[in-house]
Amino acid sequence: MQDPNRGFQPWDQNAPQQPGGFGAPPPGGGYGAPPPGGGYGAPPPGGGYGAPPAEGGFGAPQGSMGAYPPPAGFQDQGIRRQTNTMALVSLIAAISSYVLFPCIGSIVGLICGIMAKKQIDQEPERWEGRGMATAGIVISCIHLGVSVLAVLAYVVFVVLFTAGAALGS
Indicate the Cα dihedral angle 134, 140, 145, 149, nearest 10°.
160
CA distance 151 to 143: 12
CA distance 13 to 107: 82
Cβ neighbours around 19 below 10 Å, total: 4
Q: What is the pTM of this model?
A: 0.52
Q: Is 121 helix (H, G, I), strand (E, B) or coil?
A: helix
Among 89, 105, 88, CA closest to 97: 105
Residue 33 scores a pLDDT above 60: yes
Return the domain boundaries, the chain.
Answer: 83-144
Q: Are the C-beta atoms of 110 and 145 separated by less than 8 Å?
A: no
The answer, yes or no, to whether residue 12 has pLDDT greater than 80, is no
pLDDT tens readout for residues 96-147 = 998 888 889 999 999 999 999 999 999 999 999 999 999 999 999 999 999 9
136-168 residue pLDDT tens: 999 999 999 999 999 999 999 999 988 887 777
- Whether the per-residue pLDDT at 72 is higher than 60: the answer is yes
Amino acid identity, residue 50? G
